[in-house]
Amino acid sequence: MKKFLLRLFINAIALYGAIALLNGRGITPQSENWISLLWLALIFGIINAILRPILVIVGCPIIVLTLGLGSLLINTLLFYLAGAIGSSFGVGFTVSGFWPAFFGALIVSVISFILNMLLKDELRK
């Protein structure tokens, strides 16, 4: 349970970073409180847990042909989808195009990678 909550907070912080950096540049948040971010992080985690393996298997030829850059497209799609589903529940954000979704997914990936590296001992327990 501690591991789940820690990953939820990591996702929430990463999503907050992406929304804060890109606010007004293609991403418009619907609400800016931490409870909404936790719900959005939960939605983001569920989408990644369910759809990411399917998309990676289906998109494996594209990922191989582009030497891994296809995974950035998958991340972009999942970021956009998390915002759309979250906004239907009133806790998400709206993305105005491909590039804001791409940069948002990139920011989320970098921030969560850094936080996972800093907290890797806590996540192993």
Q: What is the pLDDT along the chain (125 residues), one digit of tens a residue?
A: 888 889 999 999 999 999 999 998 999 998 878 898 999 999 999 999 999 999 999 999 999 999 999 999 999 999 999 999 999 998 989 999 999 999 999 999 999 999 999 988 877 76
Domain boundaries, given as residue ranges, for the chain: 2-124
Q: How far apart are CA 110 and CA 124, in angstroms?
A: 20
**Residue 44 burial class via C-beta count within 10 angstroms: exposed 0-12, middle 13-18, buried 19 and up:** buried
